[in-house]
Amino acid sequence: MPNETPIVITGFMGTGKSTVAPLVAQRLNRPFIDLDALIEQQTGRTIADMFTEEGEAAFRRAEQAALRHVLNTPNIVVATGGGALLAPSARRFATQRAIVIELRARPETILARLGADTGRPLLDGDQWHMRVQDLYRERCAAYARLPYHVETDDRTPHEIADAVIALLASASPAPPPEVRRVPVQSPTGAYTILIGDDATADMRTALPDIERVQRVAIITDEHVAPLHAAAVRAEWLAGKIPADVYTIPAGEQAKTLDTVATLYERLLHDGHDRHTLIVTLGGGVVGDLGGFVAATYMRGVPFVQVPTSLLAMVDASVGGKVGVDHAGAKNIVGAFKQPALVVADTAFLATLPPREIRNGLAEVVKHALIADPELLEWLEAGEWAWPALVERAVRVKVNIVEQDPFEHGVRAWLNLGHTFGHALETVSGFELAHGEAVAVGLVLAARLAARLGMASEALEPRLVRLLKRLGLPTAYPADPEAVWEAMQFDKKKRGKRLRFILPRDVGQVEIVSDVPREMVLEVLRGA
């Protein structure tokens, strides 16, 4: 570590920041600054008074300004409050200017250390211990993205300081992350897709017409909210823009007009108007539903897609198709609404369960089959970096939607595997995830193409090998007649004719109609 590099000690409340940081400073013979104490000195008010009188947003702005000021001073040791580095831009600034170390502890340790300390601004009321646990869950994902960590359980302050100093011997500031930018042209205007770790740090600066945004409504779900909502909200607060979080139930079952109506009511109740920006934070369900709300609330307000799943990053968040399910039919009510910005923060992928990663990889395979043979070879080799893989898959979709923004022609190629896949999802009662259904649909599409004499019979086994290697299903035990009936609700139908998107080869697909019913049933039976 360079001698003059600032050191930042951060972490959740009760982890020992204010005790350990001055010990580290003393051992290293460096000046020590407690960021909260500095803010109180500069403003002449306590932190609790700032929260009470002006709210959290005002305090976070003061906190960000103080942090940026002190980190221009070399050779210091700084202890921050637990929320100081929640905003991605603050986290990026600090990790590039300083050695940032998180002190961490188990929840039970934190509760024991805090005791009944309810004098903290975010611990109001009798249920303070529940609030501690909620805050802990909300902040864990942001803390995990910091570069260095020291466990404090069962250690004295001096032992923790020893561990920090030992870590400093090999630590260094983080290099700036590469954020890739993919431009998209549409009839309603251009927008940009940001791709990379901590890309949410660029969200505000990359948004066009940011000066017109007076409020933000973040729509997310009950799975994503505890992981990422606090950090995304903190980023807007850092930009002096009030932000509200609206959480919906997770899963396809919530993607209904009833959920949309509930969101309308909550937005109206909270005073959101045409100067509101909607941010959809989640997977494909949240993006589709939140985008539909943006398309229809007040006759349309701007929105930003912040996909948190791989599937949403490479597919659902790009192209402007938004909507909800109705009467058992997937995406049957919808609109075209282009986002003002898409932010694919690939660091979010670290919080996904393996099944969700596999679901996204099915769409990457689909994009490779449509237009990128080299991408398929990457997948078969099993070696890739997430930002590069996401960018490559996204560019396939962007190239197609720019040619056909309203799905009058080649955009239908993006439904490769989906005629079978959507029907399988429906028949399974949505127990089969979208990516899993698409994986099976890709195999069935290759089988049907071979049966029609369009494709080599070698394509299906090649796909089966790859999908199995990625942990995806290649078959599903559904009644062929039930799948056929579910296909009749497919939006790609022309009149009474089903349309299939079928591969001729890797990088070459075709739209096919008038496939005999018996042939489809034979393909579904695996005959």
Among candidate residues 330, 397, 447, 492, the one labeled active-site is 397
Among candidate residues 102, 235, 356, 363, the one labeled active-site is 363
Distance (Å, whole) CA 107 – CA 261: 37
DSSP output for 180-247: EEEEE--TT--EEEEEETTGGGGHHHHSTTGGG--EEEEEEETTTIIIIIHHHHHHHHHTT--EEEEE
pLDDT of residue 263: 98
- pLDDT, mean of residues 233-252: 93
User: Which tens digits make up the pLDDT trace of 247-298?
Assistant: 999 988 999 999 999 999 999 999 999 999 999 999 999 999 999 999 999 9
Residue 524 near residue 473 (C-beta atoms within 8 A): no
Q: Give me the helices (H) in 225-343, please.
A: 230-238, 257-269, 284-296, 310-311
Distance (Å, whole) CA 75 – CA 77: 7
pLDDT of residue 58: 82
Whether 1 shows a pLDDT value over 90: the answer reads no
Q: In what order do the strands lie in the sheet with 243-248?
A: 180-184, 191-196, 341-345, 303-307, 276-282, 215-221, 243-248
**Mean pLDDT, all residues of the chain:** 92
Element (H, E) at 165: helix 157-168
Among candidate residues 358, 411, 447, 492, the one labeled active-site is 411
CA 95 distance to own-chain centroid? 21
- The answer to whether residue 411 is catalytic is yes
- The answer to whether residue 299 is catalytic is yes
Decide: helix, strand or coil at residue 343. Answer: strand
- The answer to whether residue 418 is catalytic is yes
Among candidate residues 415, 436, 447, 460, the one labeled active-site is 415
Closest CA to 228 of 359, 87, 62: 87
- pLDDT, mean of residues 171-187: 92
- The answer to whether residue 407 is catalytic is yes
Nearest-5° Cα angle at 95, 8 to 102: 45
Q: Give the best-scoring range by mean pLDDT among 117-126, 253-262, 398-407, 493-502.
A: 253-262
- The answer to whether residue 397 is catalytic is yes
What are residue 183's DSSP bridge partners?
192
User: Among residues of the chain, what percentage have pLDDT more than 90?
Assistant: 78
Closest CA to 10 of 159, 164, 155: 164
User: Which tens digits make up the pLDDT trace of 361-379?
Assistant: 999 999 999 999 999 999 9
What are residue 182's DSSP bridge partners?
193
Distance (Å, whole) CA 62 – CA 235: 14
Distance (Å, whole) CA 94 – CA 105: 22
Whether 352 shows a pLDDT value over 60: the answer reads yes
Distance (Å, whole) CA 381 – CA 283: 27
Element (H, E) at 446: helix 434-451
Whether 490 shows a pLDDT value over 80: the answer reads no
Side-chain half-sphere exposure of 418, counting CA atoms within 13 A: 21
pLDDT of residue 328: 77
Least confident residue range of 111-120, 192-201, 225-234, 454-463: 111-120
pLDDT confidence band for 337 (50 / 70 / 90): very high
Residue that wins the pLDDT comparison between 516 and 128: 516
Distance (Å, whole) CA 222 – CA 248: 6
pLDDT confidence band for 494 (50 / 70 / 90): low
Closest CA to 179 of 165, 193, 158: 193
pLDDT of residue 336: 92
pLDDT of residue 81: 93
Whether 488 shows a pLDDT value over 90: the answer reads no
3-state secondary structure 347-383: HHHHHCCHHHHHHHHHHHHHHHHHHCHHHHHHHHHCC
What does the radius of gyration of the chain's CA atoms come to, in whole angstroms?
A: 26
Among candidate residues 3, 29, 72, 299, the one labeled active-site is 299
Closest CA to 197 of 354, 312, 94, 344: 344
Whether 11 shows a pLDDT value over 60: the answer reads yes
pLDDT of residue 112: 87
Least confident residue range of 122-136, 156-170, 494-508: 122-136
Closest CA to 509 of 387, 384, 373: 373
pLDDT of residue 239: 86
Among candidate residues 151, 407, 510, 522, the one labeled active-site is 407
Distance (Å, whole) CA 378 – CA 383: 6
What are residue 307's DSSP bridge partners?
282
pLDDT of residue 127: 63
Distance (Å, whole) CA 52 – CA 436: 49
- The answer to whether residue 321 is catalytic is yes
pLDDT of residue 491: 63
pLDDT of residue 121: 56
- pLDDT, mean of residues 330-340: 91
pLDDT of residue 47: 87
Residue 200 near residue 88 (C-beta atoms within 8 A): yes
User: Among residues of the chain, what percentage have pLDDT more than 70?
Assistant: 96
Among candidate residues 17, 204, 367, 418, the one labeled active-site is 418
Among candidate residues 215, 255, 358, 422, the one labeled active-site is 422
Instruction: Report which DSSP code applies to 305.
Output: E
- The answer to whether residue 129 is catalytic is no
Residue that wins the pLDDT comparison between 526 and 99: 99
Whether 7 shows a pLDDT value over 70: the answer reads yes
Report which residue type is found at 420: F
Among candidate residues 17, 92, 321, 337, the one labeled active-site is 321
Residue 339 near residue 317 (C-beta atoms within 8 A): yes
- pLDDT, mean of residues 150-174: 95
- pLDDT, mean of residues 478-485: 95
- How many other CB atoms are there within 10 angstroms of residue 39's CB atom? 20
Using the structure block, give the residue that is written with the tokens 């990516």: 435
Among candidate residues 60, 434, 492, 499, the one labeled active-site is 434
- pLDDT, mean of residues 158-182: 94
User: Which tens digits make up the pLDDT trace of 98-131?
Assistant: 999 999 999 899 888 887 555 555 555 556 677 7
Closest CA to 57 of 235, 229, 220, 207: 235
Element (H, E) at 33: strand 32-34
Residue that wins the pLDDT comparison between 43 and 445: 445
Decide: helix, strand or coil at residue 499. Answer: strand
Q: Phi and psi of 194, rounded to 5°?
A: -95, 135
Whether 517 shows a pLDDT value over 80: the answer reads yes
pLDDT of residue 472: 97
Least confident residue range of 323-332, 340-349, 388-397: 323-332
Residue that wins the pLDDT comparison between 30 and 46: 30
Least confident residue range of 24-33, 151-160, 231-240, 282-291: 231-240
pLDDT confidence band for 495 (50 / 70 / 90): low
- The answer to whether residue 158 is catalytic is no
Element (H, E) at 128: helix 128-144
